[in-house]
Every structure is written in structure tokens, then in C-alpha cells.
Chain A
């Protein structure tokens, strides 16, 4: 795997791109060197950044799978996927609060957490299916930008519908006593909540892998993503597979929403926008259309977001670098698309 192709002839464009690449590399290396040489943070602090990054990355990976599955089959960016993620978590907060009022969160935390998780997954799944039915299905075969614009519109409609339904305020999840405290793994302190997030995400991804690789429907999905027309000739109901794809993306996004609340605890109608774009970045980073790529891309992006502001920016003496963590994510997005739009595991023909 080569990072850069050797250009056939040297044009102004390649010069600009090379200079840009060198500039980015210089910034990254100088910043990291300065930060480390100044010894601003101890090893424990770096460890905690990494632990936080892994958990966040696991959530991004779950959302990114939704983008990548849909892209793999329809070659469209489901820009509203961040809202699918939001809808589940924002709806399930009412279930969680009702369970907390009944005392179930105290007396039977595992059951109540499972209920909340299922509510979020079902709501997100329904929203994803509705989205496909109303906004995307009528536009199959339209010029590529048309479904993208529809998706932006659908994203706004979903955000403001949920704002209208549940209100504009921030709602908090009850605290789960079982997820408090820290674990000690080989001397690294890991908050239980972050460990649960990571493990749950890995379990879900394994489930997805099993589904896609080992079941009949999974095989049909792979066939449709390979070639829709041939798949249809083989007797696969392509429409059904597309709906299933959206549904799976929705279920994973719903679960990601609940895991996200274990880290940040709060929900409101705008919570989907940034994780949505970051997960898209993760999907592109790994190679859009590639499930394993989405998982690794999510992990990489989570780590970058948690570590890079302190590692790279702090060295330059930039105040409150954590404010710029989203800039890191967006810069990764821009740079990946400029230098390697197929991502790191992507198929060439997708680009």
C-alpha cells in the first residue's frame, strides 16, 4: 500500500499538494516535539487521553458503519445519519427517566439499561427506515448531488422535528451506579463507563461482522453492494436489502447514541451534527464502503481527537487547545479527501 502515487508529470497542482503535505507534516512533528520536550503532561495523563480517545473512537466507529453500509450499496452520503443517532438517544432519555422514577435504575440496573438501549435502537431504526422510504427511495438514479441536498434537508427536518417534539432544552440521563468508578488494567486507570462503551461497541461490531459474513441476508447485502443489477437477477429483492441496510445502520447508531450518553450524559436535538460529521470522517478515513475501514477509521479519529489538541497544538502555546479538537477532526477530513480520497482501506473504483 503506497501512500502517494508517483505523478506522471509534475504540474502546479502536484507542487501545491506536496508543499501542503510537507507543511502539515512539519506542523505535526514540530508541535509534538515541542509538547513532549516541554514535558507538559505526565504519562498518566497521556494514558487517560488515550483511554478517552478509544471509547470515543468506538462510538464514532459504530456511527461510521451506518455511513459506510449505505455508501457501499447506494453510493450516497446519508448526511442525516447523525440525526438518526440523535433521535434514539434523545427519545430513550424519557424511558430512562421513567425507569429512574420507578426506582428500577436503582434496583435492576442491567434490565433498565437494556430497556433504554433497546428503545434507542428501535427508535433510530424506525427513523432510518422512514428516512430511506420518504427522502431517498424516490431519488434513486437522480444526479448525485440531488440525494445529498435531500439528505441535508432531511437532517434539518429531523433536528427541528425532535426539537419541536421534545423541546430545545438539554436533558440528562440518570447515572448508572454500576458504571461508576475506575478499573485498573495493567496499571492503566480506565473509567468503567469508558470500558463498557468500548466493549459494547466491539460486541456490536462482532455481531455485525457475523451478520454480514455468515447469514443469508448478509450475503445478499454483499451481493447488492457488488452489483445491484446482477443481484436483482439472482432473485435478491434489492429494495428489501436496502431497507435492511438502513435498519442495521440505524440500530448501530441508536446503540452508539446510548453509549455516547455514558460518556457525555446529556442529550439535545443538536447532539447528532458533530458526531455525525466525525463519523463520516472516520468512514472516509478508513475507506468509505469498507466496514473494517469504518471501524479502524473511527478508532483513529477518536484517538486523534483526544490526543492531538494536546500533543500538537499545545506545543505551539495555543491557549485552550481542546476548543480546537473539532478543527483537528475537520482538518483530518479535508486532508484525507485531498490526499487519499479512497481512504486507507477503500476500493479505488469508489472514487
Chain B
């Protein structure tokens, strides 16, 4: 019990300090403007609740991996202690801010923060809510661990859906009004935040869906497993087809702002797929990926824009595009050739240097007569299709969408080809790969220039999306964006790239409060993923095995059942000679 109590205290302290951090950087107050349930609870106050809940959940896990879970009473006790400590720290924070008002230094230690931390109540009531509520929430979090897994899944789905619907109000209600399902929109939302009935319905409905899915999942996957290979392929393709159909019709009813956001997500998906080839498949960390994006954007602008200062051939976008891709591939080869001998972390820093060199040179007075310098290049024309100008974001979405699909197919085929296997071998152990006859320099160059081409493609769409190209926007943040999204999704995993782009690029665009904290969020994602789940949320199997090498619980390298399921053949018997 002593060990549990100690751990519960430190867990609670960690979550309390996390809330302190988010409060002092201003995120809590910023999120407070967004109502969860209209006029009752804001998202800002919910953060404290979630922290206590999570503290309770984390504190009630087994002491070490592989040990038996604690008895229910111990788990609940741990949860209560953890939540209580979190609540006490929040109370102490509120008191300190109120007592010392350090606003001259800490700009976000404001009276609003105190008000939010006190739930808009008196000091005593607010503190009581924090301390008692914290302990209660800790118990709730711990009880999530005690209840059966299916129920837990349901509860988590319900809470997640509630938060998601509240945060995504603009997005969801635009879709609903566009569909037209205005009555659903009216039922769910007030002007700001969910309605009471809407919130409860969401919680219950999604809770049931989550519970049903969790309890039926095993049966479902068994049914899927029992199907023949052909049937399964049909099932998989029809699911994929349905998804593509939904995605293809989405811009018709979501309005221009969301179309713009989806365009941006698409561009980042292309970039992520390209960077994923370099980092995920070949294992080369490229921190200067923005250089290729910039080359793509600038090449497109110079080739198509009438406003290009020096050289303006004024080509059509579709004629320029192959040239742009060829240029970026060539640049990828040129940059790659001298640096690819370098060891991993040095390569990362050198590529970072290239990215910065590209930006500074493009931004300088020296380049002003050629590519516009700090003014950039304006008036990049939109692509034409069947005589129609694709300037409208909802229309530009389609070429980007098609490019994403092509890029994804290209990435998947590369991964499953001889080239892909050579990359995997090289990533896992370069010397061994070389010894078995893989020409590592050749394959590294190939990966680098493939990645560059994808980056160039993304850059071309970036140039036509806004119609202008500015060097200031092509900074290291773009590279880090792309890196963060492939890491969130799972290095080397293609579905991971897509999910990562939606979560890290799409969501912050939609949550305007977040825009200021977007990079803080990226940083937290990078650190937290590396510490807690280095393989990402949708991991690539071999990558996962690499990262968990030597841990007893990793998946077996050779899964006969999976092999049989996926190929429809029997496991090959080892030949005896």
C-alpha cells in the first residue's frame, strides 16, 4: 500500500504541475472562451477535471508492467490520492496567483485565470470544488480501470465524442447544415457550445456505440478472419471506397473555410508521405525537408506566374508540374550526394542547415531581382481544368485529393517492393544490409530524391493554394510540422501519416484558440510520443518491433496465422535438403 500511495502522490503531483504549466502559458484561459455545455461548463475548466481523472486512471495501474493489477480498494484509494493531490496543486496555484499577482512577469497569471481555476465561484467554494472534486474524479478515473474493458471503452468513447463535438462545433455544424440536417444541428448546439440534451445524448449514444463496438469487435474480426481472401479483399475495398466517396463529396457542403483547411491537410499529407519515405522507410532523419517544399513552391511560381521578376515562361500549371517534380528530384540528388555518408544525427543537422540556407537566401536582397526576395512572388495562377479556374478552395481540393491518393499508392508500392525491403534492411542495420549486397548509397539517394519529389509536389500545391510564395513562411517550422505528424501517426506507417496530418494540421486550424499554442502542442507531441509510444498511434509492424527490441512482450517476428490469413496460403514448410 505504501508504494501505491507514494506513486499516487507523485502521479497527482505530475498532473497538477502539468495543469500549472498549461495555466501559466495561458492555454487554460484561452480554452475557457469555448463552452462545452452552453452556459454551464467551459472547455478550460474541463481540463482540470480531465487531469484529475487521468491522474486517477494512471495511478491505479499495476506497479510495474506485468504485475497483477491492484485490488479494487487499493486502486480506488490510489485514484483518490492522485486526484486529491492534483486538486490541491490547482488550489495552491490559484492561491499563489491571487496572493502575489505576478502579472508584470508572468503575463498569463491573471485574475481570469484565478476565476477559471475557482470555477467562477467564491474562493472557498472554488477550492472545495477543486479538492473534493479532484479526489472524486480520481476515484472515477481509477474505477475506469476496474470496470470491464468493454464498458471502459464505451465510457472513453462517450467522453471523447463529447469533447470532440464541443471542440469541433464550427466544423460539425457546417457539415450538418450543409447536409441538410439543420434540425440535428439545432438539437446539438447553442450558439456557443452544446445544449444540455445534446451533451447527454452524445455521451449516452457514443458510449453505447463504443461499448457495442468493443464487445463485438472480437466476433467481428473473427468473422472477417473466417472469410476467404477474396471476400476479405472485397470487404476491405468497399470500406475504402466508401471512405474515399465521403472524402470526395466533403467539400461540396462544408464551405470555403473548411475546404481551405482540408486543402492544407492534403498538402501536409503529401509532405508527410514524402518525409515518411526518407525518415520512416530509409531511416534518414531529414530536418530540412522544407527546402524541397520551398523549391517546389518557387519553381511553380517562377514557371507559371506572370509576376515572376526575372524569368517568366508563363506555363500552364499542368505543364509546369512535371518540370517542378524533375527539378526537386534533381535537387534532392544534388543535396543528397555529398551528405548521405554522414551518420544519422549529423545528417539531421546538415539537412537542417540546408533548409535554413534555402530560406535565408530566398529572403535576401541578393535574390530580389531573381525570385523577389522578401516580397516573394505574387499572382501565381490557379490550375485550370476543363477551362475552369480551380482557385476556389473547394475545387482545388480535388487535384490535391487525387495527388494524395497517387502519393499514397506510390508510397505503398514502394514500401512493398524490392526497394522498400532494401530500405528496411538499411534502416535496421546498415552494415548488415551492405554486407548482404544492398548498395546503401544508391538506396539512400533514391529515398532522398523520392522524398524530395513528394515535397516538391506539396510545394507546388502550396504555391497555387494561396497564389503567392513568401520565403518567411518556408521556415523550419514546416519541417517540424511534417516530422511531428509522421511521428504522431507512427514512423513508417502510411495511415499514420494521414491521421497525423488531420490531427496536427487540421485540428489547430479549426481551433483558433489553439493557433498560438500550436507549436507548444507539437513539441509536447514529439517529446511525449518519444517517451511513451515511440512507434506512434498507428504503428508500422517492423518499426514497432525495432523500437521494442529486447522487451519480452513484443510481437513475434513471424506470425503464421497472419501470413495465412493475408495470403490465403499455408505457411511454407522449411525445405529439407
Instruction: Spell out A's residues near B (CB within 8 Å).
Output: 13, 16-17, 20, 76-77, 94, 134-135, 138-139, 142-150, 152-161, 163-167, 277, 280, 284, 318-321, 323-324, 326-327, 330-331, 333-334, 337-338, 341, 351
A-B contact pairs, 17 of them (CB 8 A): A16-B338, A76-B345, A134-B527, A143-B546, A144-B344, A153-B530, A156-B526, A159-B523, A163-B25, A164-B24, A165-B25, A323-B365, A327-B357, A330-B353, A333-B350, A334-B353, A337-B349
Q: Which residues of B contact A327 (CB under 8 A)?
A: 357, 360-361
Q: Which residues of B contact A319 (CB under 8 A)?
A: 365-366, 368
Known: A145-B285, A164-B24, A280-B349. A337 touches B342 (CB 8 A): yes
Number of A-B contacts (CB under 8 A): 163
Which of B105, B342, B345, B357 is within 8 Å of A148, CB to CB? B345
Question: Helix, strand, loop or mixed for chain B's interface?
Answer: helix
Give Cα distance in the complex from A77 to B344, angstroms: 11
Q: Is the CB of B366 within 8 A of A167?
A: no
Q: Is the CB of A326 within 8 A of B360?
A: yes
Q: Which residues of A contact B283 (CB under 8 A)?
A: 145
Give Cα distance in the complex from A161 to B519, angstroms: 10
Give 8 closest A-B pairs by Cβ, nearest first.
Answer: A164-B25, A153-B526, A156-B523, A160-B520, A157-B523, A153-B527, A330-B353, A150-B530
Known: A161-B21, A165-B24. A150 touches B527 (CB 8 A): yes
Known: A165-B25, A320-B364. A326 touches B480 (CB 8 A): no
**Per-position 1/0 for B355-373, Cβ under 8 A of A:** 0110011011110100000
A3 to chain B, nearest CB (A): 16
Which of A139, A161, A351 is within 8 Å of B531, CB to CB? A139
Q: Is the CB of B25 within 8 A of A277?
A: no
Give Cα distance in the complex from A324 to B367, angstroms: 11
Known: A152-B480, A327-B361. A159 touches B519 (CB 8 A): yes
Q: Which of B283, B519, B523, B531 has the most CB of A within 10 A?
A: B523
Known: A164-B25, A164-B520. A337 touches B346 (CB 8 A): yes
Q: Which residues of B contact A153 (CB under 8 A)?
A: 484, 522-528, 530
Instruction: Spell out B's residues near A (CB within 8 Å).
Output: 21, 24-27, 104-108, 283, 285, 287, 337-339, 341-346, 348-350, 352-354, 356-357, 360-361, 363-366, 368, 441, 480, 483-484, 487, 517, 519-520, 522-528, 530-531, 534, 546-547
Q: Is the CB of B342 within 8 A of A341?
A: yes
Give Cα distance in the complex from A64 to B287, angstroms: 21
Q: Which residues of A contact B360 (CB under 8 A)?
A: 323-324, 326-327, 330
Give Cα distance in the complex from A238 to B356, angstroms: 37
Q: Is the CB of B25 within 8 A of A146?
A: no
Q: Which of A146, A159, A277, A327 has the most CB of B within 10 A?
A: A327
Known: A17-B338, A157-B520, A320-B365. A149 touches B344 (CB 8 A): no
Give Cα distance in the complex from A321 to B441, angstroms: 36
Known: A154-B523, A324-B364, A341-B346. A331 touches B530 (CB 8 A): no
Q: Is the CB of A13 within 8 A of B337?
A: yes
Q: Is the CB of B547 within 8 A of A143?
A: yes
Give Cα distance in the complex from A337 to B24, angstroms: 41
Closest residue of A by beta carbon distance from B351: A334
Give Cα distance in the complex from A13 to B441, angstroms: 10
Q: Is the CB of A135 within 8 A of B339?
A: no
Q: Which residues of A contact B24 (CB under 8 A)?
A: 164-165
